Structure 1
Amino acid sequence: MGVDDIVNKGKQLFEQNRDKIDEALKSEKAEDVSDRFLDGAAEAVKKVVPEQHRAKVDETRANVDKHIGNE
């Protein structure tokens, strides 16, 4: 089995389970996990970027959060 076969199998599995994946991404558990991850990632980035860019980090974090979970 080559890389192309693996990629094609992954695409097939995704298409067959698209509804379940969408449901999982919009769940309360996904919201909790994503919030913790995004908060940690944003704080880590804000420690290394200049202060004038920290608001952009928060804005980016909020935009990503809109697409994961149920809030």
Structure 2
Amino acid sequence: MSDFMNKVKDFADKHDKQADQGLDKAGDFADERTGGKYDEQIDKGVDAIQARTGEGDQGR
């Protein structure tokens, strides 16, 4: 894994709440850009990533 990705993972592990909020915003942006067409798939993806960072989804 690249040094950058290691830093991203470390940040996400140490700042779970902020990482989850950023992922939620990114998911909302993707939903908006696709007109909600892929809402379910985007939500599943965001949830899967949030489960892998720190202690999981802190935003809900």
The percentage of aligned residue pairs carrying the same residue is 14
Structure with larger Rg: 1
Q: Which structure 1 segments of 5+ residues have no match?
A: 1-6, 15-20
Q: TM-score, normalised by structure 2?
A: 0.64
Q: How many residues align?
A: 49
User: CA-atom RMSD, angstroms?
Assistant: 2.3
Structure 1 runs of 4+ aligned residues shifted over 3 Å read none
Amino acid across the alignment from 1:60: G
> Structure 1 or 2: larger helix share?
1
- For CA contacts below 8 A with separation 6 or more, give which structure has more relative contact order: 2
Query: Structure 2 stretches of 5 or more lacking a match?
Result: none
TM-score by length of 1: 0.56
